[in-house]
Amino acid sequence: MITESVSATGIVRDYWLRDIAPYRIFATSKGALSLWVWNNHFVGELAIGDLRLTVPYAYRNTASPEDIANDIFNHNEGDTTVEILSAIPPQSAASILGSIKSERKAAAARQNGRKGGRPKSK
């Protein structure tokens, strides 16, 4: 797996603090993997319960999610200096995936309701 050396941990923290949603979230054998696109590469965060693991490099966009999750897990395994992104409040999978109501979503739902609501399926 080919990587590019960047401050991916800082990029992930910055994306969370700026409320930039992940490009994709995958369920892997190690935990929930959140991926963001950065400079045609992926930066990732592996969530195992309340623990959030990152690595200081980005992955080429040809790497599989399972390989990225395994690499992040192996990179942090047994390391007592694992950086937990404490600036990120623990969130449930539903809130990460966007199942939480917000003013923005409520306003969009009201506007769609005025237009006749969800289209009827054929």
Q: What is the pLDDT of residues 55-85, one digit of tens each?
A: 888 888 778 888 888 888 888 875 544 444 3
- The domain spans of the chain are 3-114
Q: What is the pLDDT of residue 3?
A: 53
On the question of pLDDT at 86 being above 80, the answer is no
Task: Please state, in angstroms and rounded to a whole number, the distance separating the CA atoms of residues 7 and 33.
Answer: 18
Q: Is 75 exposed, middle or buried (0-12, 13-18, 19+ CB in 10 A)?
A: middle
Tokens in use for 65? Answer: 């999610």
Q: What is the pLDDT of residue 83?
A: 44
Closest CA to 23 of 42, 7, 39: 42
Q: What is the pLDDT of residue 88?
A: 41
On the question of pLDDT at 1 being above 60, the answer is no
